[in-house]
Amino acid sequence: MSQISLTFPDGNKRDFTTGVTPAEVAAAISTSLAKKAISATVNGAHWDLQWPIPADATIAIHTMQDEAQALELIRHDLAHIMARAVQEIWPDVKVTIGPVRDYGWFYDFDRAEPFTPEDLGQIEARMKQIINAREPVKTEVWDRARAVEYYRGKGEPFKLELLDRIPEDQDIRMYWHGDWQDLCRGPHLQHTGQVPADAFKLTHVAGAYWLGDATRPMLQRIYGVAFRNRDDLKAHLTMLEEAAKRDHRKLGREMDLFHLQEEAPGMVFWHPNGWTVYRTLEDYMRKRLRQADYKEIKTPQVVDRVLWEKSGHWEAYRENMFIVEVDEEGAKEKRINALKPMNCPCHVQVYNQGLKSYRDLPLRLAEFGSCHRYESSGSMHGLMRVRGFTQDDAHIFCTEDQIEAECAGFIGLLSSVYRDLGFEKFDIKLSTRPDVRVGSDEIWDKAENALQKAIESLGLPYEINPGDGAFYGPKLDFKLTDAIGREWQCGTFQADFNLPVRLDAEYVGEDGAKHRPVMLHRAVLGSFERFIGILIENYAGKLPFWLAPRQVVVASIVSDADAYVHEVVATLKAAGIRAEADTRNEKINYKVREHSVGKVPVILAIGMKEVEDRSVSVRRLGETRTETVALDQIIPQLAKEGQMP
């Protein structure tokens, strides 16, 4: 029989019979490894222990100690086990698909009756029975005709449609968890008992259209979370409880910041308090950009399709664009425009006005640009995912030699901004050239090397994300970590050699000839709407004093103090502090509770003693104690706290 050579992570090689499985490889190494093995990585692909290896390859055997692979398998197996449990309890339910997602999985079901919280408990109990039975997981590759006949016989129309979507040159792989079967690419664990029975939980049910198409049937999606052990599950559930308390939609109502409504789906109605936060953050970013030598511009929101065709967005992004048709006077046909989904093509138009020299570069053009993108109704979520938003967008036009310096300057700006806003930790991923791309390998080498050198020159750790760059160039993605450990993708820095060519951007070089500039796309916050949502949740509504919409409330204890209350408010406002009076005929404890719910950082209580002493009683948000401070002492103190970083 023919032989193949397998190379292990330590560089050692061993010969095996062609078609050997990773399970057999593990057994050949040691009995203990064979017992612990859960999967393998073969030539970079995650590989089921049962799959044969057809040719020479690199191989690594995984155990439950390998977190990424273990979690993928646990969550994937639980999706199948849950679907099996559902069909065992309700045999008439039709199954569809159940992919792994962050922290867990979901599975979509076609069932006439809605699932209830009691149903989820029943499903969980049945899943644990299946896990404890330690039933084997098996896999086979079937021909298409056999698979079609099988699912027709079982009356599973969704599986039949999935079969039609599998390309002819791809295997049709079947998996069994015990006697229950599903169409699946795998890999999976080797028996149900390898899934930790005390480390998962079904969380909720939501509606979902079949294949995300609003014209298709509405299904029921059951979500679950899973980890390698009970402690990790408990920590995650605690984090979810904390996240629910910090939900920006709930806090947005309590703080009277914004609302959304059906007449303008995905568009934010900012209330005075919320708009104060928005404008304060915008003023802060404007100051930082001015210090970094950016030139602020403003470009149109409605732009003719001709520009979007030139830029390539009409072909690649049209389904996410809002189209605007206008009957131009005297025109034979309607003029087709689009609300801009991004600012890049318009920024090139500004750059193209007038001849540019190499002496003008780098040219940094910034815009707080309003954009509109179509998002499905099911994907929208408060401020975090909307249809109308504003980006702290900028594009840097530079030479190839300037990429490294501009990248380093941007990372320095981003680091400083994140620190000012309370985020000390962020991760960087360098996404390199994808298989489908434009530009020569030489240009990609320059761009990737420049980004890599810039990160390393700052001494910052980063990860390589191979093949995930944009089609026009490599990019850096910045993920910040909030107060409860969640990661948020916000900042980005992308090197683009393509759009300047498509939109004919040029500069005159030192040699007197015309050259194409490099276009660097960059954002620090990303979307203002989303970043404000992140800030609200990070601080649980208790925004830093300089950013808080209502900084100080001056509350009277007795009506005789009202005149002094208004004098204090006027003095605070004159010092640049956002202050308001509360002279309602309510008890002071009621006022304090109400304004604490509204997350007002400082409450100044005033009674007759404070009037006589020209002082105030200071209570800060989250503290139970109060202190009496002279008015002429607290004013400069609060004014200093209110200064923008």
Active-site positions?
Answer: 344, 373, 391, 393, 395, 475, 521
> From CA 437, how far away is CA 369, in angstroms rounded?
27
Question: Is 372 labelled a binding residue?
Answer: no
What three-state secondary structure class fits 558? Answer: coil
User: 436 CB contacts (<8 Å, ≥6 apart)?
Assistant: 471
What three-state secondary structure class fits 427? Answer: strand
Which H/E stretch holds residue 556?
strand 552-556
User: 320 CB contacts (<8 Å, ≥6 apart)?
Assistant: 341, 373, 374, 375
Amino acid (one-letter) located at 477:
D
Q: Taking Cα atoms as reference points, which of 197, 163, 203, 168 lies closest to residue 183?
A: 163
Q: Taking Cα atoms as reference points, which of 379, 79, 69 lies closest to residue 225?
A: 79
What percent helix, strand, coil does the chain show, rounded to 5?
40, 30, 35
Question: Is 395 labelled a binding residue?
Answer: yes
Q: Taking Cα atoms as reference points, which of 512, 471, 469 lies closest to residue 493?
A: 469
Question: Is 521 labelled a binding residue?
Answer: yes
Beta strand residue intervals within 399-498, DSSP E: 426-431, 463-465, 475-481, 487-496
Q: Is there a contact between 196 and 229 (Cβ–Cβ < 8 Å)?
A: yes
Q: Taking Cα atoms as reference points, which of 152, 155, 136, 134 lies closest to residue 144?
A: 152
The one-character DSSP state at 559 is: G
Q: Taking Cα atoms as reference points, which of 493, 507, 274 lies closest to residue 396?
A: 493
Cross-strand partners of 556: 606
Q: Is there a contact between 484 and 474 (Cβ–Cβ < 8 Å)?
A: no
Q: Is there a contact between 443 and 497 (Cβ–Cβ < 8 Å)?
A: yes
Say how many C-beta atoms besides its own lie within 10 A of residue 539's C-beta: 19
| DSSP per-residue string spanning 283-332 | HHHHHHHHHTTPEE----SEEEHHHHHHHTHHHHHGGGS-EEEE--TT-S
List residues forming the annotated binding site for Zn(2+): 344, 395, 521
Binding site members:
344, 395, 521
